[in-house]
């Protein structure tokens, strides 16, 4: 192995740049050349200027930056045999011997298919704010995302109390409620609605009815975007059918959760996993994701990290009921 490539794919997450830096410097430390592939699988297919040489200087001063210097995208073409063939030809043209991919489910699924067809070794690093991959306690970007959400929730609580209003705050999490669960507990939310837990709509209506009649001045409800079809807006519309006077404010945090400077935890996590990815390749590992389990680096096969359902911590779910009684 003489040259490896690193790329980011799918949704961006804070800490991706820290991981790119770790991959590059670990590779150089081990006398490997490093290429950065711009725009993920799309750039891999298009070739040309999307393949850039990386060195210690080019990854300097990026550990604190959000987003990804290598850009990112989603590629429908890579889902085709023809697209993957173009990608392979460009990798060979650029003398790439192995890959480090930073992303989530879709990224790892593509990497596994690609290896089965062309035998290019690949180790993945879980870069997603959703924290929904098995084989790691935390994904790169999750800690920053929940702290971003928490900062917004704290500010909204000030306004909610001042105006004596109910607020619904929608956070990211189409299929996973990890952001909603963590930020809801940390933000002292009265209600937390998650995709993994079927809500009792009657209980929700009852809660707000009691709050109104008891003259409770304000409440915060955290809603994961995938909890209810239509998200927080639709949830409120349904409640209004039973409580016509219900008039909460709705805040959609959206993509603000993906941006910003990564927390110290995400920088250290990204650095550890980026280093582990390169060392895994040097040891002959492939088709695995570098993760952190009980604060120890572990490599988990892609098919396990993708297919196994990562369940919410039942202790945290219980805390919601206890604290909101």
Residue with tokens 């023809």: 82
Please count the other Cβ atoms lying within 10 Å of the Cβ belonging to residue 279. Answer: 18
Smallest CA-to-CA distance from 89 within 113, 108, 71, 114 is with 114
The string of DSSP letters for 37-91 reads: ETTHHHHHHH-GGGEEEE-TTTTTT-TT--S-TT-----SGGGSHHHHHHHHHHH
* Statement: 142-258 belongs to CATH 3.30.1600.10: no
137 included as an active-site residue: no
Provide the edge-to-edge strand list for the sheet that holds 122-126: 51-54, 33-37, 3-8, 98-103, 122-126, 288-293, 296-301
pLDDT digits (tens, 9 = 90+) for 4-17: 999 999 999 999 99
Q: What is the per-residue pLDDT for 93?
A: 98
Instruction: Output the six-digit token pair for 152.
Output: 């917004």
Q: Is residue 216 pLDDT above 80, yes or no?
A: no
Could you read off the pLDDT of 128-171 as tens digits, one per residue? 999 999 999 999 999 999 999 999 999 999 999 999 889 999 99
Domain 3-141+262-307 sits in CATH 3.40.30.10: no
**How does pLDDT run across 242-287, given as a tens digit for each residue?**
999 888 999 999 999 999 999 999 999 999 999 999 999 999 999 9
Beta strands in 50-190 (DSSP E): 51-54, 98-103, 122-126, 166-171
The confidence band for 307, taking pLDDT boundaries of 50, 70 and 90, is confident
State the chain's mean pLDDT as an integer. 94
pLDDT score at 141: 98
Q: Which of 130, 132, 143, 266 is an active site residue?
A: 130
Task: Please tell me if the domain spanning 3-141+262-307 has the same topology as the one spanning 142-258.
Answer: yes
Q: Which two tokens stand for residue 281?
A: 């390749």
pLDDT value at position 33?
A: 98
Q: What are the domain boundaries of the chain? A: 3-141+262-307, 142-258
Q: Is the pLDDT of residue 179 over 70?
A: yes
- Res. 63 pLDDT band, cuts 50 70 90: very high
């Amino acid at each position: 192995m003489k040259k490896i490539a690193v790329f980011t794919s799918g949704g961006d997450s804070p800490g991706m740049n820290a991981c790119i830096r770790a991959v590059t410097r670990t590779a150089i430390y081990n006398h490997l050349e490093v290429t950065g592939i711009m725009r993920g699988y799309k750039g891999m297919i298009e070739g040309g200027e999307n393949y850039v040489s990386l060195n210690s200087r080019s990854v300097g001063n990026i550990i604190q930056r959000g987003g990804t210097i290598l850009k990112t995208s989603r590629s429908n073409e890579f889902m085709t045999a023809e697209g993957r063939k173009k990608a392979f030809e460009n990798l060979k043209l650029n003398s790439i011997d192995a890959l480090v991919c930073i992303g989530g489910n879709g990224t790892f699924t593509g990497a596994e298919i690609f290896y089965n067809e062309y035998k290019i070794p690949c180790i993945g690093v879980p870069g997603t704010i959703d924290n929904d991959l098995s084989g790691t306690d935390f994904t790169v970007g999750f800690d920053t995302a929940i702290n971003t959400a928490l900062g917004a929730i704290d500010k909204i609580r000030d306004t909610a109390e001042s105006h004596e209003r109910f607020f619904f705050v929608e956070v990211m999490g189409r299929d996973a409620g990890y952001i909603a669960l963590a930020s809801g507990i940390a933000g002292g939310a009265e209600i937390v609605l998650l995709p993994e837990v079927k809500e009792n709509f009657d209980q929700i209506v009852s809660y707000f009815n009691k709050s109104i009649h008891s003259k409770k001045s304000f409440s915060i409800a955290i809603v994961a975007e995938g909890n209810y079809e239509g998200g927080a807006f639709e949830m409120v519309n349904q409640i209004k059918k039973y409580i016509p006077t219900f008039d909460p404010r709705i805040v959609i945090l959206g993509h603000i959760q993906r941006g910003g400077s990564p927390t110290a935890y995400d920088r250290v996590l990204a650095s550890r996993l980026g280093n582990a990815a390169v060392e895994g390749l040097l040891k002959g590992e492939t088709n695995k994701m570098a993760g952190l389990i009980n604060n120890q680096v572990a490599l988990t096969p892609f098919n396990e990290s993708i297919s196994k359902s990562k369940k919410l911590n039942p202790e945290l779910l219980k805390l919601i009921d206890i604290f909101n009684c």
